[in-house]
Structure 1
Amino acid sequence: MAEKSYPWKLAWITGASGAICGELARRLAQAGVTVAATARPSEKLDGLAATSERIKAFPADVLNADELKSCAARIESELGPIDLALMGAGMYVPFDIRNIDLDGFHKTMALNVDGVINGVAAVLPSMLARRGGQIAIMGSLFGYSGWPGNGAYGASKAAVINLAESLKLELEGTGVDLTIINPGFVDTPLNAAYDPKKKLFVMSKERCARKILEKLGKKPYEIAFPTQVAGFLKSMRSLPRSVSFPAIRAFIRKMGA
């Protein structure tokens, strides 16, 4: 029996082999939603598809725009219109000012930004044509404020937040809804290398997925959590830098980092 009822028949999830998106795929499938799961070919993707007959694997590389466009077309040809497209592919690499990993920085920007817009470009034309659908983009609260050791990831998520704001303004009146999902730190392999002392109110992938799905069906512009982290980082963005920089440093010292 379905645990919940959602307004989508078919959801397309990129980055589906990741911890959060994999959990979202499983929960949606349990609730009766058909999920087209996209990631690079891997045992993880195959394993995810094996957990439910409602999860179908559609391997593709989000960095290959033509491949992703073909993937979206194949999904709609085989399964029907994509009601929800969740752009979830992403990565994190540590940022050390004494030894900047340029390759890691460029790969992070490519996957976290190019991977998103490639997915949007693949699915948006058909949604606009039928005047319906929802696009959800996985951002991060750390796109709102700089944070030590977070230079590459934070910069990529800041770009994604700005992209989402622009898309939201342009999609007004088209019938297509846009949601940006901004969680704080989630306990996944993605950020396992990050200093645990600098993680604010870290949460499990299960809690993260639950928080997302509690609100996503209502089609809000933004889903941001935990509340304490969202309030802190958003306030840091709005404060003068003469105030926000010392506040962040003080907070980190209080955490013992």
Structure 2
Amino acid sequence: MAEAKYPWRVVWITGASGAICGEIARRLAAAGVTVAATARPSGRLDALAASSEHIKAYPADVLKPEELRSAVAKIEAELGPIDLALLGAGMYAPFDVRNIDLDGFHRSMALNVDGVINGVAAALPAMLARNQGHLAIMGSLFGYAGWPGNGSYGASKAAVINLAESLKLELHGTGVDVTVINPGFVDTPLNAAYDPKKKLFVMTKERCARKILEKLPKRPYEIAFPMQVEGFLKTVRDLPRALSFPVVRRFIKAMGA
């Protein structure tokens, strides 16, 4: 893996044992960035930390705010100030209107939304005190428009996008930047249960991580890809509903789903 230079000394990543965030952690570590990796205790988190001297494990449950606050305090005491907090913990639960999985819906909203704001609440105070920092929040292009079979995940990511917009407005002038990362479908265990016929332009985790790290150092408000999916879903979002629903239905039918 070729080394790259990044503007961060310490990066905190939640959901670090996942496919995308784990790949980002490894790429940052290969470039000499110190990565504080947070996820619930697991063999995957241990293996990630063992893969590089630049990756340190700080186990915590993102649904427990006190654990995240303790993790952040420990990271900053041991490694130094967190320059970038990448809040990437998340999950996907299938959504079937004929047999709605209420537990899956509630768990999706909790992990994908509560997990993010808990991370923001843990990292932001110190960043504001320093007048410097960067919050990167993992969203999804499917937070922009409803998509069949995606009710739980899409609803949670729509909430994340709205949260990111609010944070961006409120943090203007504080020295703390906000980036929302909105990929399309990525080939990971997270969405393995999703109907393959409804997936658009599926990417590998390696391509996803590479594209994120190409753009994140510039601190844009949004990183969204692939371009084709971004353009389609944002167009659907902007259309009158009398047009957008038939467009999506015809598109899904054309895909054979």
Question: Do both proteins adopt the same fold according to a TM-score greater than 0.5, normalized to the shorter chain?
Answer: yes
The runs of 5 or more residues in structure 2 that have no matched partner are: none
1:171 match:
171
1:203 match:
203
1:90 match:
90
Contact 1:139 1:183 in 2 (8 A): yes
Taking only aligned residues, the RMSD between alpha carbons, in angstroms, comes to: 0.8
Which runs of structure 1 show a deviation greater than 2 angstroms over 4 or more consecutive aligned residues?
A: none
Deviation, structure 1 residue 31: 0.8
Code of the aligned partner of 2:56: K
Report the Cα distance in structure 1 between the residues aligned to 2:49 and 2:67, rounded to whole angstroms: 20
TM-score scaled by structure 2? Answer: 0.99
Deviation, structure 1 residue 2: 6.6
1:161 match:
161
Deviation, structure 1 residue 3: 1.2
Q: 1:42-74: CA deviations, max 9, x gaps? A: 000000001100000000000001111111111
The runs of 5 or more residues in structure 1 that have no matched partner are: none
3-state DSSP of counterpart to 1:215: helix
How many percent identity over aligned positions? 80
Report the Cα distance in structure 1 between the residues aligned to 2:31 and 2:180, rounded to whole angstroms: 22
Report the Cα distance in structure 2 between the residues aligned to 1:39 and 1:182, rounded to whole angstroms: 21
1:108 match:
108
Report the Cα distance in structure 1 between the residues aligned to 2:5 and 2:219, rounded to whole angstroms: 14
Contact 1:2 1:32 in 2 (8 A): no
2:214 match:
214
2:239 match:
239
Deviation, structure 1 residue 115: 0.1
Q: 1:176-225: CA deviations, max 9, x gaps? A: 01000000000000000000000000000000000000000000000000
Deviation, structure 1 residue 22: 0.1
Report the Cα distance in structure 1 between the residues aligned to 2:130 and 2:158, rounded to whole angstroms: 30
Q: 1:219-244: CA deviations, max 9, x gaps? A: 00000000000000011111000111
Report the Cα distance in structure 1 between the residues aligned to 2:15 and 2:69, rounded to whole angstroms: 15
5 Å matches for 1:110-129? 110-129=110-129
Q: 1:100-122: CA deviations, max 9, x gaps? A: 00001000000000000000000
3-state DSSP of counterpart to 2:124: helix
Q: How many residues align?
A: 257
Report the Cα distance in structure 1 between the residues aligned to 2:218 and 2:6, rounded to whole angstroms: 9
Report the Cα distance in structure 1 between the residues aligned to 2:141 and 2:229, rounded to whole angstroms: 8
TM-score scaled by structure 1? Answer: 0.99
Q: 1:99-153: CA deviations, max 9, x gaps? A: 1000010000000000000000000000000000100000000000000000000
Contact 1:143 1:157 in 2 (8 A): yes
1:72 match:
72
